[in-house]
Amino acid sequence: MTLAEALLPVANRNVVTDVAAATEAARAAATTARLNVEINLGGIRDEQARAALRETLGHVDPVVDRAAAVERAVRAILS
């Protein structure tokens, strides 16, 4: 995500949609991983492991927000 955010202001207009596609792929990976963790939390008996996984889930929303910001920026460039 950091690389995409850094490339966006300097990327060729023909490349910005590729940057957006990369951030969307990262968003999809993060949200899919979150769903997989959430569905499997009930089967994990180790409370420390469950707590660590729950804490890790907190990293997903910022990824989603950053991907959305890149998409908005790309749409602004294209309009």
Give per-residue pLDDT as tens, 30-73. 999 999 999 999 999 999 999 999 999 999 999 999 999 999 99
Residue 51, domain extent: 2-78
70 touches 23 (CB < 8 A): yes
**Taking a C-beta distance cutoff of 8 angstroms, is the pair 19, 10 a contact?**
no
Q: Report which residue type is found at 8.
A: L
Burial of residue 6, with CB atoms counted within 10 A of its CB: 0-12 exposed, 13-18 middle, 19 or more buried: exposed
pLDDT at 12: 87
Cα separation of 22 and 57, whole Å? Answer: 21
- Whole-prediction pTM: 0.84
Structural domains of the chain, count: 1
The Cα diameter of the chain in Å comes to: 51
